[in-house]
Structure 1
Amino acid sequence: MTRSTGGVVAIAIAVAGGLVLGLVGCASATPSTSASPSSPTAAPTSAPPTSTPDRSVEFQALEAEFGARVGVSALDTGTGARLSYRADERFGYASTIKALAAAVFLHEVRGSARDEVVTWSAEDVEAAGYSPVTSEQVETGLPLSQLAEAAVRRSDNTALNLVLARIGGPAALDAALGALGDEVTEVINAEPLLNVIEPGSTDDTTTPAAFTDDLTRLADGSYLKPADRATLLAWMSGNATGDTLIRAGAPAGWQVADKSGGAGGIRNDIAIVDRPDGAPIVLTILTNTLDPDAEYEDALVAKAASLALAAFVH
């Protein structure tokens, strides 16, 4: 996860989502100005026993302040209450996909196979881009488990590519997410091409609602064994790239396990948030700037997180 020094490409993702609040039974890429924020309308809902406050006006104000589009999906895993804003609109996911790739790795690669030492070349690192861990280990290689950890904790691009290769490539990750029930996310490319979102394409995109549902399945123990779930959450809790994002917007005393993503005008963060007085909150925040020449601002994600999590303060 880093801003690439490569050429500028365009991202144009259709704006078609609505605002839904209530109980539910969850390289460089710059956006084109065609992805301008519309005013989401409230979808009719039945009267739920629990609900979240309507934050649409506040999120619209954030979009105007930062010249960006914001997608939010937050789920209270205890009550089922969900807060959504543009939750069904597509965004480039960038490096947030590394957390899901690591989860699939933990699910599918077992026992001593995780200790298999993998090697790569300096050319692999150069082609992948941002690789703070693997660039220092070209001569020795690393065990697969350490590569998965580096992909999550340090957002190492080469590490992701090597983990993807072990589980069968982007198509295998896409299929694994489909088996989890995610028919929305489109995993097509490895690093760095996954950051390049072509106008009108759904390749390497997701929606906030889809990623929140994915994270919920990872957190509830239905997909990962308890030890593997603990490992993934430990990696996400030690994420070195998320301190200025959801973690910065969380109330004092709330613990955030997250995975960030960013390239050009895309800035994202996905998280499982533990609070002292309730069940965890699963939160996805995906954003992109509207000016094709503008770069992202971490403060947008932090402010969006603050608004979203405030809805779940008891």
Structure 2
Amino acid sequence: MQHHRPSRRRSAGAGRAVLAACAVLAVLSATGCGQDGRTGAATATTAAADRSGSASGNASAKDAFARLERGYGAHLGLYAVDTGTGREVTWNDKRRFSYNSTVKSFLAAAVLKKNGSDGMDRVLRYDRADVIENSPVSEKHVDTGMSLRALCDAAVRYSDNTAANVLFEDIGGPGRLGAFLKKELGDDITRTDRIEPFLSRWSPGERHDTSTPRQMASDLRDLVLDDTLPRAERRQLTTWLRTNTTGDTTIRAGVPKGWTVGDKTGTGSYFGARDDIAVIWPPGRKPLVMAILTYRDGAKDGKADDKLLADAAKAAVTALGTER
């Protein structure tokens, strides 16, 4: 191509009173029990928190996520927080999963941080040979190139793979994205090893191109709701997320109508891996932040099921007590 926390700065966790989650099981039809491939059992927790690190267990939420895992034959990782109350819901939130194309939201943030809003009209050129699968926008602009702004729009809103790779090259590669996350967000958990389509080629037990639900939600919260990015750049990233075209059947499908969702989805090449990370604005309330990372049991060519993510989001919203 050619071109012309976990590890947070703030800690996350518990504080004031434990909120009992209401009737999560009533909203779910799947059945079963959960699994966790690491030392220690999977847990689901809810808490009224000051983000200091601990949370109290809640049987209803735990049962709900366990039923989802068995009902869908899947492994589920989830972290959700109500930024108004500090209440958290977690399930395998410190376990590593592939993040797939959700990382494009962080890539766009790194580009915005590097160039500023005023520098986003710079045009980058790429060749026909650089165009890979799932590049619905960039494949139409080989002859003209695309501005940084247009490339970020394509990468976040359409999950355009070639656009992401052009942006990776411009910032200096996946390692530079990891350096951005560590320097700006204190994130030393997320691994950024490869470009598309290789970053989505993950099998259980591998560590490349992985993170945890808690860390992904923490990073997204910093980038969208805090002051890591200047105001104009933060507003631009938020607009891309809110107008994302790929998330109608995942987290958005699991929250009440009338709520605003800004999200970035991801799909893995293997084991039906499917992810979504989101900031959610319920009317008249402070935002929620949610990360859901999943993969399926069984065959390497297993298919993703978006309803798993929608049902998990619905359960998390119910457990947080924010469904009304």
Tell me the amino acid that sits aligned with residue 164 of structure 2.
L
Displacement of 1:196 in angstroms is 1.5
Asked whether the equivalents of residues 80 and 217 of structure 2 are also in contact (C-alpha less than 8 Å), the reply is yes
Secondary structure of 1:115's partner? coil
Q: Which moved more, 1:252-261 or 1:102-111?
A: 102-111
Tell me, yes or no, if the aligned pair for 1:77 and 1:279 is still in contact at 8 Å: yes
Unpaired runs of at least 5, structure 1:
1-12, 27-43
Q: Structure 2 stretches of 5 or more lacking a match?
A: 1-35
Shift of 1:111: 4.9
TM-score (structure 2 length as normaliser):
0.82
Q: Tell me the number of residue pairs that the alignment of Structure 1 and Structure 2 aligns.
A: 280
Matched residue, 1:40: none
- Tell me the residue number matched to 2:69: 63
- Preserved contact between residue 96 and residue 269 of structure 1 (Cα < 8 Å): yes
Task: Give a deviation string over 1:2-36, Cα, whole Å, max 9, x none.
Answer: xxxxxxxxxxx94345434324437xxxxxxxxxx
Cα distance in 2 for residues equivalent to 1:260 and 1:123: 26
Match of 1:151 among 148, 152, 155: 155
Name which structure has the greater RCO, CA cutoff 8 Å, separation 6+.
1
Q: Helix, strand or coil: the match of 1:72?
A: strand
The alignment status of 1:21 with 2:46, answered yes or no, reads yes
Contact 1:52 1:82 (C-alpha < 8 Å) held by counterparts: no
- Partners of 2:209 and 2:55 in 1: CA distance: 34
Distance 2:61 2:91 in 1: 8
Query: Is the 8 Å Cα contact of residues 46 and 58 (structure 2) preserved in structure 1?
Result: yes
Write out aligned runs for 1:131-170 (5 A).
Answer: 131-170=135-174
In 2, are the aligned partners of 1:269 and 1:284 still within 8 Å (CA)? yes
Question: Which range moves more in the overlay, 88-97 or 162-171?
Answer: 162-171
Counterpart of 1:285 (choices 278, 283, 292) is 292
Q: Which amino acid is the alignment partner of residue 291 of structure 2?
A: T
1:282 match: secondary structure: strand
Q: Is the 8 A contact 1:18 1:88 kept in 2?
A: no
In the TM superposition, what is the alpha-carbon distance from 1:77 to its structure 2 partner? 1.0
After superposition, the Cα gap between the structure-2 partners of 1:173 and 1:14, relative to the gap in structure 1 and judged at 3 Å, is farther
Query: 2:186 maps to which residue?
Result: 181
Runs of 4+ aligned structure 1 residues displaced above 3 Å come to 13-20, 23-26, 44-47, 51-54
Q: Which of 305, 313, 320 does residue 297 from structure 1 map onto?
A: 305
- CA deviations 1:208-251 (Å, max 9, x no partner) are 00001101111223201111111111101111100001001111
Q: 1:267 touches 1:288 (CA, 8 Å); kept in 2?
A: yes
CA-atom RMSD in angstroms = 2.0
User: Closer, same or farther in 2 for the Cα pair 1:88/1:119, shift >3 Å?
Assistant: same
| Corresponding residue for residue 10 of structure 2 | none
